[in-house]
Amino acid sequence: PFIKDLFGLTDMEEKIRQAYGLQQVVIVPGDSDHSPHTKRELGLAGAQVLRKVVKEGDVIGVTGGSTLAEVANLLTFPTSDTNCMFVPARGGLGENVELQANTIASTMAKRTGGQYRLLHVPDHLGDEAYQSLMSDPNIQEVVEVIRRSRIVIHGIGNAMTMARRRKADERTIELLKQEGAHAEAFGYYFDREGNVVHKMPTVGLKLEDIMETEVVIGVAGGSSKAEAIESILKFGHEDILVTDEAAAQVIVSRC
Ligand code: F6P
């Protein structure tokens, strides 16, 4: 708390919390774009927030990405009998294995003595493939578990950064630009005002589920992500935001 006050972080937390009607905002000092230490602190803060809100028997939906990978690596729960189930929020989104939600869900389960279920769904699903996958009883069962998530913890990215990281073709990138895609979270692309403009064709949590999830926790930092975070906040379904000083400064200056 002392360090936070010294940097004025507590004030910024409260300003952002009020501006977007959030339950809680946690800001760590620094800029995770430039400092691996800050990124780790961001992960640790995310892990602490999750540890606090979790209840016995919870289903926890997680997304992929390097920030959530940090959260997973630093996650601990008080006892091994909290008996949580970790699931990927959505299926294949074109990430490398180490950044995939499946990998992160299994790491979290192992570190906390919890259980996990995986979604084995390939990337870039066409309509027909989607329909046939959804009629598979195993997939249906996992998707039902996923849709029961009481908590969703997710990363946030810049639309173009994410489209390129997922190796989207030039046509899709052009389309995203035309649509005004600015931010990305849980496989949905958002414009500056927080409207959904594009979605990745996969299975798992739908936007309606996210809107109804009891506790949605966004973990993202770095000055380069400030505006993307802002657009997800405008979308209006976050409950807790964990970010860093560099992103928070930009967000506060625009509140
Ligand atoms: O692809 C999964 C995902 O959580 C995206 O929804 C998000 O935009 C991105 O990863 C964040 O990744 P990183 O933490 O590496 O910036």
Report the pLDDT value the prediction gives residue 23, as an integer from 0 to 100.
Answer: 98
CA proximity to 98, closest of 90, 107, 85? 107
Tokens of 244: 């860093």
CB-based contacts of 244: which residues, under 8 Å, 6+ apart? Answer: 27, 28, 29, 30, 31, 32, 38, 41, 42, 221, 222
Report the pLDDT value the prediction gives residue 127, as an integer from 0 to 100.
Answer: 84
Report the pLDDT value the prediction gives residue 1, as an integer from 0 to 100.
Answer: 60
Prediction pTM value: 0.96
For residue 238, the CA-to-ligand 1 centroid distance in Å is 16
Contact by Cβ (8 Å): 143, 136: no
What ipTM is given for this predicted complex? 0.99
Q: CA-to-CA distance for 205 and 88, rounded, in angstroms?
A: 9
Report the pLDDT value the prediction gives residue 229, as an integer from 0 to 100.
Answer: 98
Report the pLDDT value the prediction gives residue 167, as an integer from 0 to 100.
Answer: 92
For residue 118, the CA-to-ligand 1 centroid distance in Å is 18
- Counting from 1 in the atom list of ligand 1, the atom nearest the Cα of 219 is 14
Ligand 1 binding site (Cβ under 6 Å of any ligand atom): 63-68, 93, 95, 154-157, 162, 184-186
Q: CA-to-CA distance for 203 and 214, rounded, in angstroms?
A: 20
Residue bearing the CA closest to ligand 1, atom 6: 185
Q: CA-to-CA distance for 220 and 154, rounded, in angstroms?
A: 8
CB-based contacts of 201: which residues, under 8 Å, 6+ apart? Answer: 124, 125, 126, 127, 130
Q: CA-to-CA distance for 117 and 104, rounded, in angstroms?
A: 11
Residue bearing the CA closest to ligand 1, atom 10: 65
Average pLDDT per consecutive 10 residues, the chain (255 residues; last block may be shorter)? 76 97 97 98 98 95 98 87 90 92 97 94 83 90 96 98 95 97 97 96 93 97 98 98 98 94
Residue bearing the CA closest to ligand 1, atom 14: 67
